[in-house]
Structures are given as structure tokens and as C-alpha cells.
Structure 1
Amino acid sequence: MKAVISRTYGTPEVLELIEVEKPVPKDNQVLVKVHATSVNFGNLALLVGKPYLVRFAFGLTKPKYRIPGGDMAGRVEAVGPDVKAFKSGDEVFADLSGSGWGAFAEYVSVPEDVLVQKPSGISFEEAAAVPMAGVTALQAIRDKGEIQPGQKVLVYGASGGVGTFAVQLAKSFGAEVTAVCSTRNVDLVRLMGADHVIDYKREDFRKQTQQYDLIIGVNGHQPLSVYKRALKTGGRFVHVGGSGLQLFQTMTEGPWISMAGKKKMGAFLHKPNPTDLRYMKELIENGKVKPVIDKTYKMNEIREAFNYFAEGHSQGKVIVTV
């Protein structure tokens, strides 16, 4: 089969599309023919090996996982003898970042318990947009952010992969949502359901006086003090993604701010969770959440896909078809 491999850390130029041996499912595994995958921050960290802390999980001197790719949507081709929940022909999707990665390939063999039936009524490309970004947004808002109906929620970086899910999820929980994005993305985030939009190209977020119960920092370079000022007493700031300096501030200063006052500030890292992915599936099938796709690339264009994603200006998800 064809697969994208990474032998060393580096730029997208180190990615190679080569022929490798097709996997054979073990007793409790499912062989899936991959139809689509996507690019996430985790893929970028696995590619470049930065921030350097990720190397403790991904390999100190070279990538531990030869075939990257976390998000996966495809069709079951074969199952091991112990598999009960799936059969050949089933359409599935999954987050493979906790089970060896490997989605940048024509086939992948994965444990039965990581797979979820693909949402009905959407394409494989749309399904591949959901696992990592959708579950990240869900866990950040519901679990870390402890969102409640009627709260005022701000999503900073609302137009990217996680951000578009965050806006829709906050609305599904009954919140009043303000989205922060650039001028070209204003119409997009309004379509996602944002009640208010702050165009950071035209309005200085640091000067706005509105306060929020929950702030999700998906992208941007604002100092932690700016988010703290924008929080209500008892409010929460959840760092999901942004500049390295912002992450460093959140990890070092956030705990002190949280202990010293009545505003909670902390970083967050998603955990693959099939139960949460099933929750996202239900929201999609009920029309409460819709994946947003910016660009679609073929597997032989994987370098271009990574270069575009690394620019940080995608509107929704960057998809790779297999």
C-alpha cells in the first residue's frame, strides 16, 4: 500500500510517499481502508518535533511513529476474530493519536475500541475533520471550561479547525457566543452561530470592556493579562492553542492566578475518547454541529497540505484524501 512516512524531524519536505507493507489485523483489530484524513496541530508537532517536550512522547531523536496521521475516516475491510462491534463494509471514523497514529496511509489496522460509526449524511472528508479538532473543542468547553447555559463565552481564534467547532458547541450548550477572527472570516463565524463578532483587524481586543464567563483561546498572541481582564469573577480561561509564549505564560502564571483569585486560567491538551467522538456524531446527525472544510489535498500533495496548515490561516479544516 501507499503511505506517507517521516524518518526524521523537520519541515514538510521530510515527508515521503512510498510503498509499505499492508497491515494485517490482529485478533482484536479492524483493518480500515482510509478514505480521508486531516492535518492538526498534533500532526505538525509530530512532524517538526517542537515544542521539544513532545519528543518525550514522539521520540527523542527521530519520530517514534513512522506513519503519522491522527484523524481517520474510512470503510472496514476486514476484522480480527475477536471483533464484535464492526463488520466488513461499515463506515467508521476515529482519532488514532492514542493508538499509534498511522492515518496517512491507504490502510490502517486499529483496535476495535477506538472506532466509531461514521455520522450518517456526511462525506468521509467531513467525517475526517471531526475527531481531533471536534473532541478538543468539546473537552475544552464542557470539561475544562465547565460551560453552563446562558453564560457569555468568547472564542479567540474562532475560524480555524478547533475554533469553528468551539463556536458551534458553545451554542449547543446554550451560551451567548462572541467570536474573535480576522475580517475575511467574519461571515463564516456568523454562519457557525456566533452572536457577536470581534474583527481583530479593525478592533483592538485589548481595549474592549465586555467580560466573559468562559474564554477559549484557540489562536492568537494576547498576553495572559488581557484574557484575565476580560474574565468575569469566577470565570475561566482555557488555552487550547496559540503562541509558544502564551502557552508558557498559561502554564507558569495560570496556576498562581487561579490560586490567588477567583479567576481560573489553565492550559489544556485533548485526550482521544471514543465516547466523546460518539457525542460529536450525535450532534452532527442532529444538525447542531457541521464540520467546516477549507481545502482538500490528495495524498501526493501532503507537503503542500502541511505548508498551508502551518501558515495558520485556514478557515476550518485542511483535509487529505487517500
Structure 2
Amino acid sequence: MKALAIGLMSGTSLDGLDLCFAEFEKQDTWAFQILKAETLPYPEEWENKLRNSIHLSAEDLLELHSDYGFYLGQQVKDFINRYRLENISLIASHGHTIFHQPQRRFTLQIGDGRAIKLETGLPVVYDFRSQDVLMKGNGAPLVPIGDELLFSGYSACLNLGGFSNISLQSGGKRIAFDIAPVNIVLNHLAQKLNKNFDEHGELARKGKIDLTLLNRLNALDFYHLSHPKSLGIEWCNEHIFSALHKTETLDALATFTEHAAQQIANVINTNHIKDILITGGGAYNTFLIEKIRAKTKAKVIIPAKDIIDYKEALIFAFMGVLKMNNEINVLSSATGSYADHCSGVMV
């Protein structure tokens, strides 16, 4: 069986919209090939709209949900026309997360899939997280189904995006959980120095570690919870940004980079991981990768650029294909829901 799908991913760090057109084929096992992919930086207007969306009234948020859906549809349509893509089975859209509070049984990723379908005329799968939250899961992480079926050659897969999350085999099943914030905090601090992000970690490299702050961060309750567990912007607003604001920015960058590396290495070492595939924007943060390597004996693997940049968008495309075939695309062992299930709304 073969399918061609486009995956859309917009991360919490607002780096841009990732589009990934890939072919999936199943014989004995699943195989994939990324055929075309790119990241479209958000225009300033859209970046501001998404960044401030958490503060909108219900009516304005519903309006944004529709508008952003049409925006996504237009970007996909342009992407398809630009590269003359054909025989597309479906579009799978993660949307952009505004609220994520699984303990209160809701999560919200805006970008109405019906609007994407109206713009493109193609089948669309969207809203992958809500069903899992209703099933008493965290609604995250969802990528482990792709790690299990597409990247099983590695002991573990680590994504360094807005948040770091890991998936690995443990006790005969795939477990996964968020480890710590990464780019959502580092980008915020870099922007105070008029940079979009801390390129290669060079700003953090200039700072000094504030041990008092480091100890305060490491003592946060989340790090001592057992999996499954997940993080959202609300948690960062409550526990991280308030802790950093009194520290000089370069020192805050140095301290938070050390904090993230320590938390990641703790997980690698505790789980006796032998080799780990690292993807996401943080894979380019040389300083952070150096720190992770120094704190663990695991073999750290940085793959080709298209996998670093587009693994999440690729896996959402794959989840859409699984949904189309009515196959399981969310693992309860990763999210904590009461059963594996086939998630997403298809229109």
C-alpha cells in the first residue's frame, strides 16, 4: 500500500510553518521518503496573532481559528502549485497549540481543517490531540507512533523543539514524555537581545551559570513526576519565565541551557539508552548538544537536515495516512490514555 501526504506542523516556538510532502509505503513494515519540504517563516502579523492568541476573548479566538485555517490552506495550495505536486492522498494538519490543559480535559490547536479543505479541495485530517485528552490521556506526545513504525532502528528519539520530548522502548512497549522546555525559553531570552534565537548556543556560551537559579529550576515538581507527562506554555508562564526575569539575559541563557541539558541527560542515563536520534531546531544548538554529549555515554546521532527539520511534520502526515486507513495512530503507553486509538477529525 502506498500513500502520498502533506504534513503541516506549527511549533510552540513559532519558528514558522513546516510543510512536508512524503510518500509512505507498507509491505512488511512501513517505509517513507521525504519528497519535498520547507519551512515558511510567519509574517510578523501572523507571528503576533499567534503569540498573543492566548489572551483573546472566546469570540476573537474562534475567528482566529477560522482565519488561520484559511491561511494554512492558502500556504498548502501555494506549496502544491510551487512544486507541481500530484496524486496527494490527504493533508494532515497539527494546527497551532493555544491551550493545553489535559488535566481539565481540553487542548486546543487552532486552524480549522474544514477551511484547509475548502482552500485546497483535498481530504484533511486535523485535531489529532483532543480525542486522547477526552480518553484521559495527555494528548501528547503523539510522535511516538512514527518513532515506533518509521524510526525503530534507534534506542530512543529525542525532539528538541519548543519543548524536549523523548520516546523509547521500555518493557516491550513504546513510552514517551516531555522532558523540559527548550526553544520556547531560549528563543524568548534571545529575543531580549534582539536575536530571533540563540544561534548554535553562542549567546549561552558567553554567559555564566547562576547556580541558585539552576537549583531552583531543577527542583521543580514536574521533573520528579513519573511518565506519561506533558508541558505547555501555561506551565512555563507559571514556573519558568517568572524565575528567569531577575537574572541577566546571557546568564539566564547559560543557566537554562545547562538546566535543559541536565534534565535530558538524566532521562538518557536513567533509562540506560545506548543511542539516541536528535531532531528539531535544538539539534543545531551546538552548545546544548555538547553539554548533552558530555553528560551521557549514549551515542548521540544528528541525522540529515530534512529529518532534523521535518520529522514532526513527516509524522503528522503519517498519522493522517494511518487515520485514513482506520489504523491506530496514538499510543496509550505514550500519552496515558486508557487505550490505543485512531485519532483525528477527517473532512
Specify if TM > 0.5: no
Q: Point out the structure with the larger helix share.
A: 2
TM-score class, shorter-chain normalisation, is 0.3 to 0.5
Higher relative CO (CA 8 A, sep ≥ 6), structure 1 or 2?
Answer: 2
